[in-house]
Structure 1
Amino acid sequence: MIPRLAQTTAQRLAQGFPILTITGPRQSGKTTLARTLFADRPYVSLEDPEHREFAHSDPRGFLARFREGAVIDEAQHVPALFSYLQALVDERRRMGDFILIGSQQFGSMARIGQSLAGRVGRLELLPFSAAELAAAGWLPADLDTLLWQGGYPPLYDRPLSPNDWFPNYIATYLERDVRQLIQVRDLTRFQRFVRLCAARTGQLLNLSALAADSGISHTTAREWLTVLEASYLVWRLLPYHHNFGKRLVKTPKLYFLDTGLAAALLGIREAGTLGIHAQRGALFETWVVSELIKQRFNAGRPPDLYFWRDNTGNEVDVLFASGTRLQPIEIKSGATFVHEWLKALHRWQGYAGDETWPGWLIYGGEDSYQREQTEIRSWRSLATCRDWRDETT
């Protein structure tokens, strides 16, 4: 098992809450992490029809089996269980009593919000981060291979090619599990919708255009996208609200949370083709944003990332609050620094004044250095275990 940076957070939350939830996409390592950290607890999966039926028909009897707590996998299959868990943990008043694992955001389920408020520590686990891969000696040697392969654990702990694994993941997860959640009747349109989402990663989200291109209604597109978000496949990056005297774009940007999955949906079959692919820049930006989200999830922090764009096209790719100021980040996939890349950050500093820190520019090259009060950072700098969030505080 490649050590997960989130394990310290999981242990901390289990000491302060009677229930720990670990959510994330399928095959992101949730079950492995939970069974490793809580090996003394019995494990039960509600994917098993027998266990699921027992939990549905007799939730009190099902939970009574676990006098010392338990790890319950795929808990979202029996949401009625949460009300009974509330009474049980309130009676036992024991921290880390139950570990619930799910491949949907429990926060999107009204039942857990109503039943278990204040009793749950939440951990969201995405596929391997670059820092985790680097610490284990598994970080791909070049950027294009990393973008093409992504971070899903089976691609690192098994002798599998992305060309073999992703088509099966798409078929068994996207086309079975996600379809069931939203009761998709037309598989062809759903497949087209997901691939069109991949083609838009790193772009402003025009939901009306996405719906039209997919041959579905605006309402259906919104529902399908919400389920992809709840399943940790895509992320909407929200615009920062402060206008600094400018009229702002209020539309979010769409990102996949794994570049390997996005590349597979785009039909990219080998890393060597990425160098000349029209989507390489978008995939690199997607990778950087997903790495920043993973840093926050692994530390148990909210993913408080934004972008800023005015109505004339001036943009900062990523913004986050750091102390009393904002940290701007520009993202460029090129391997050779170009002075033109600094223009957006300099323009932003002129708008924000004392409210901003000096900018960071993350690019596809190998060297990191400072230039014109801007930190030029190699993509490899994201493969350190350092938490970038607190550097400027």
Structure 2
Amino acid sequence: MYPVPLTDFLHPRSILTLAAAVFFTSGFVMTLMGVRRRVYPGYWHWVAGEFAFALSALAIACRDMYSVFWSIHLGNALLLLQPVLIAAGLRRFLSQTIGRRERVDYLLWAFAYGCWLLSMLGNAPAAMPIFIFSLGFLLLSARLIQLGYRNQYESLQGTLDLLLGSYALCALTQLARGIYSLTSAQTGTDPLFGLSFIAFVLLAIITLSTLLLMNYERAEGELRAIESQLMELANTDVLTGIPNRRHFMFLAERLQAIAARGPRPALLIIDVDHFKEINDARGHLTGDMVLRAITGRIGEVLRGGDTLGRLGGDEFAVLLPGSDARTAGHVASRIVKHIRTLTIADFGPAPTLSIGMAEFMPGDTVSDVMRRADQALYAAKRAGRNCAMTPDGVHCSDDLEEAA
């Protein structure tokens, strides 16, 4: 067997056959993925763009093999259609950041296909028609690149940059082909035809991989966002927007593990005095409004590292990391005093609070600490409510005002 010369592979017929095979394969792969997986608006424009490449290669091959002269004009029209379809798909795919179609798009399409009509004036391939076609493809690719760089999805930008870079290289290759044809001494020849179609083949392969990857990355991004939202819903009290009992207990257990190796934290349990009477007399909507107002007021007293959670009903809890008993007692007293200045619209003065406090001691579980804080809370209620029970004793709002 004799080796096949490289020139046979670079013959236009061989290049067109390779191009058609690659383009059709890309189109069928994207079609199969689109049927079997979730795709986004604009995806089928991309599929049509890959098939436009494939049909253009077949049309140009007909001219080369069967001397059907009009077929090269059809092939050029389909080549110009490909960046139009990719840009249209990209606009729909990234509609939230790119926006709707603009007047400049229609002007560019009209100009590009005007170039295509001009390229039909001579018997292609010829120097001027080749240059005119190359200019049209360059302009459409430039518009596609400009649209791509208006994207604001950071997770897609790396893949999109690869796609846009491949279009830039392909467009420059076509421009070089057109300029070289104009300056070539061999009038009527197309010396860079093979190179230009190899560039189209590489563009089709990169387009296939990047567009599929962009669709996958967007699906993954939305899935991560949904998971984050579900996690937030699972961890957050819907009414007040603070950690619910489940998440608060998780944070308390984590803090208890850290406390074994450092300063002892403290826990406050807060109860709204006579809240059941508010619900019975004013209704649950008013009760919900009161709970939201109290949540915001307590948050004004807490430090940056403190955590306020809702245990259920009218019962709240606060984690105070790095606080000794004295500091935690001051925080509890300030909450009791601060809530007295709260006036709620359409309700009046806010109800008072009772607070119990306990420290995390060595060997304690979270349940142990909560039990002691509960006992302190009931002691505050027995002392007349509107009080904070700390290791220093009971601190009631009236006593705090006199001390102030």
Alignment TM-score, normalising by the size of structure 2: 0.21
* Larger RCO of the pair (alpha carbons < 8 Å, separation 6+): 1
Tell which structure's C-alpha radius of gyration is larger. 2
Q: Which has the higher strand share?
A: 1
Alignment TM-score, normalising by the size of structure 1: 0.21
Q: Which has the higher helix share?
A: 2
